[in-house]
Amino acid sequence: MSWASWTTAGVYTGRGGVLTDEGGVVTGDLTVHTTYADGEARVAVQYSGASDWFTMSGSPVPCGTEEESRDLHDAVVAAVREGNGATVPTLPHLSP
Farthest CA pair distance, the chain: 39
pLDDT score of 74 more than 80? yes
* Neighbour-count burial of 95, counting CB atoms closer than 10 A to its CB (0-12 exposed, 13-18 middle, 19+ buried): exposed
Instruction: Report the pLDDT value the prediction gives residue 13, as an integer from 0 to 100.
Output: 97
Nearest-angstrom CA–CA distance, 70 and 26 = 23
Dihedrals phi, psi of 19, to nearest 5 degrees? -90, 130
For 42-51, the pLDDT digits (tens) are 999 999 889 9
